[in-house]
Copies of this chain bind each other. A is one copy, B any other.
């Protein structure tokens, strides 16, 4: 079965326990892992693919909070698991994803009996808090044109991005018109090449 590094350090007894109780999930791109208000039924350990977590405000506008990929832990689920409150955000699969689902009982046993498991969970939590703090700062203080350029630069491995302006607006937490205008400006500068649902980055058209 696809491994998750947090399981590597378990002793034989716990490993057996884990093998018996872990559920395996395959989720095709586009599927919704959980949505706002929903109850949590276990802790997902992501083993592959890409999942984005986003929230929708009262205003109806959405913003992407962070992504999960191979070897990530869905820290957000732990809080829901422990308190019984529903999710505040929703998670959508971007690239076909796989995850191991740890049910509540097993989670409690692992937390009780494995120091390394606890350590992994705590580290994951810490990283998530850091991410969110950085996001707050970015949203509050940074200029949108810089943030857009950085978002694109971070994905310059792909020569052509298949994304609409609306989706990009949700990534950055802004309005579609703002993204459209900035991209148009960038196209005039020769920084990108636009077509319906696609953004071609330099290197792909020079």
Q: List chain A positions with a Cβ less than 8 A from chain B.
A: 55, 57, 59, 61, 63, 65, 75-76, 78-80, 82-83, 85, 88-89, 108, 111-112, 115, 118-119, 122-123, 125-130, 132-142, 173-174
Given contacts A126-B83, A127-B79, A132-B136, A141 and B111 within 8 Å (CB-CB):
no
Residues of B close to A127: CB separation below 8 A = 79
Q: How far is A173 from B138 in the complex, measured between Cα atoms in Å?
A: 11
* 5 A-B interface contacts by CB (under 8 A): A61-B141, A75-B129, A79-B122, A132-B132, A140-B174
The complex is assembled from copies of this chain, and their number is 2
Residue of B79, B118, B128, B136 near A173 (CB, 8 A) is: B136
Tell me what chain A mostly uses at the interface: helix, strand, loop, or mixed: helix
A82 contacts B122, C-beta separation under 8 Å: yes
